[in-house]
Amino acid sequence: MKDKETNILLIYTGGTIGMIKDPNSGVLKAFNFDRLQKHIPELKLLSCSISTVSFEEPIDSSNMNPEYWIQIAEHIEKNYDAFDGFVVLHGSDTMSYSASALSFMLENLGKPVIFTGSQLPIGDLRTDAKENLITSIQIATLMHRGRPLIKEVGLYFEYKLYRGNRTTKINAEHFEAFASMNYPALVESGVHINIEHDHLLKPNLRKKLVVHKELNTNIILVKLFPGITDTALQSMFSTPNLEGVILETYGAGNTTNRKWFIELLKEYIKKGLYIVNVTQCSGGSVIMGQYETSTQLKKIGVISGKDITTEAALTKLMYLLSKKLSAEKFKTVFETSICGEMS
C-alpha cells in the first residue's frame, strides 16, 4: 500500500532566498514561486505536493514586525487542516525573532512550521538556497504512524534543523549563519537525515491549535555596559506606556550593585514594570543569586530569563503582556518553559 502523499504549504515572506539574478543585467529580482519546480526540478523527487502562498508585497526581513507575524500565523491557521507541514521562507536577519514569535503564537501546534532562508539568492552558482529549501521541505514531509514527525516551529539552515526559539543569527557571511547554543539540533542532514527523537517537542495532540494574534510591543531591550549612566537608564525606563524590559546582563545574570542602579530597578518594578534578566553571553544561563552582584536583583523581583535567547525573551514578553496576567502569575509563567524555549 502506497503512503499518502503529504501536502506542504510554502509561505514566502521575502528575503534573499526569494531573489533570482537576471543573467544579463545581474540585477536581483523577485523569484516566481508559482514556477518553483521549473527552477528546482529536484523537488519532483520528493513524494509530496507543494503549494505556495506569498505576502502581497514581499519584505526585507529588516522590516519584519508583529503585524507580519500575524499574517504568517493566519496563513497557517487558514490552511492548517489541508496541509501536513509548512515551510516559511524568510530573510535571515530577523528569522530567529520570527521563529520565536510563531512558537508562542501557535499554541498546541501539531505540525512542522519550518523557517528557512539563504545567504545567497536562489539563482546564484554557489547558492545555499536550494539545499536549505529542499531539505526543509523534505523534513516537513517526515511522518510517523500517519502523523507529522516534527510538531513544532523549527529553523533549518546549513544541514541542521534547530528549535526556532533557541536560535540566534551568529554570522552574516558564512552559510552556517545560525547557532543554538543552549539546545542541541533536532535534525542533522548529511548522506542521511538523522533525527534526534529525544530532542523533539512532544505536544498534547488531543488539544486543538489555538492561534494568538495579540502582541504587546510596549517593551524595550537594554544592554548593560561598563559606564552606563543613571540618566540614560532613567530616560529609557520612563518611556511612555512602557510595560516590559529585557535587560541584557553580564555572565550568569550579573549587574552592577551600585545603590542607584538597584533603587532604579526597584522603583520601576513597584510601578508595575516587568524586568527580565537575560545574559549577554551567546550560551549559558542566568542564575540569579549565584553571585553577590545578582542576589539583590532576585530580592527586588527581577524575572529570570534562565537560558532563553534574547530573541525568544522579547517575543515571549510581547506574547505574555497581551494576556493581562497578575504580576505573580506573569513571573511564574515567564520563568516556565511554554514551548521548549528554556531548559
**204 and 240 both lie in a single domain:** no
Last residue of a domain, one of 211, 235, 254: 211
Residue 342 lies in a domain: no
Distance from C-alpha of 23 to C-alpha of 31, rounded to nearest angstrom: 13
Tell me what the mean pLDDT of segment 204-212 comes to. 95
Number of domains in the chain: 2
214-229 residue pLDDT tens: 999 999 999 999 999 9
Domain-terminating residue out of 162, 191, 211: 211
pLDDT of residue 1: 33
Q: Are residues 101 and 174 in the same domain?
A: yes
Tell me, yes or no, whether 60 and 32 share the same domain: yes
175-189 confidence digits (pLDDT tens): 888 999 999 999 999
Residue-level pLDDT at 88: 97
- Looking at the structure, tell me whether residues 266 and 306 fall in a common domain: yes
Q: Which of 6, 13, 16, 315 is catalytic?
A: 16
Mean pLDDT within 84-97: 96
Tell me which residue of 125, 149, 133 sits closest to 10, measured CA to CA.
133
Q: Please tell me the pTM assigned to this model.
A: 0.94
Identify whether residues 171 and 44 lie together within a single domain.
Answer: yes
If pLDDT is split at 50, 70 and 90, which confidence band does 3 have?
low
* 300 falls within a domain: yes
C-alpha 163/C-alpha 147 separation (Å) is 19
- Cα separation, 329 vs 15, in Å, equals 38
Region 193-218 average pLDDT = 96
Distance, in Å, from the CA atom of 342 to the CA atom of 105, rounded to the nearest integer, reads 16
Q: Are residues 206 and 226 in the same domain?
A: no
Which residue, chain included where needed, has cell 512542522?
112
241 Ramachandran zone, left/alpha/beta (phi>0; psi -120 to 50): left
pLDDT tens for residues 275-294? 999 999 999 999 987 877 77
Average pLDDT, the chain: 92
Same domain, 142 and 233: no
335 C-beta neighbours (distance < 10 Å), count: 14
C-alpha separations of 190 from 120, 156, 175, 247 in Å = 21, 13, 15, 39
Alpha carbons 309 and 293: distance in angstroms, whole number? 21
324-335 pLDDT, tens per residue?
A: 999 999 999 999
- Do both 183 and 282 map to the same domain? no
Rounded distance, CA 10 to CA 137, Å?
8
* Same domain (yes/no): 302, 279: yes
Domain span at 127: 6-211
Residue where one domain finishes, among candidates 164, 184, 211:
211
185 and 261, same domain (yes or no): no
343 within domain boundaries:
no
In this predicted model, what pLDDT tens digit does every residue of 27-69 receive, in sequence order?
A: 777 777 666 767 778 888 888 999 999 998 888 899 999 999 9
Whether 262 is in a domain gets the answer yes
Note if 16 is an active site residue: yes
Residues 196 and 225 grouped into a single domain = no
307, 285 Cβ separation under 8 angstroms: yes
Q: Average pLDDT in the 17-34 region?
A: 73
Q: What three-state secondary structure class fits 176?
A: coil
Average pLDDT over residues 120-144: 88
- β-pairing, 6-12 vs 85-89, is parallel
Same domain, 203 and 325: no
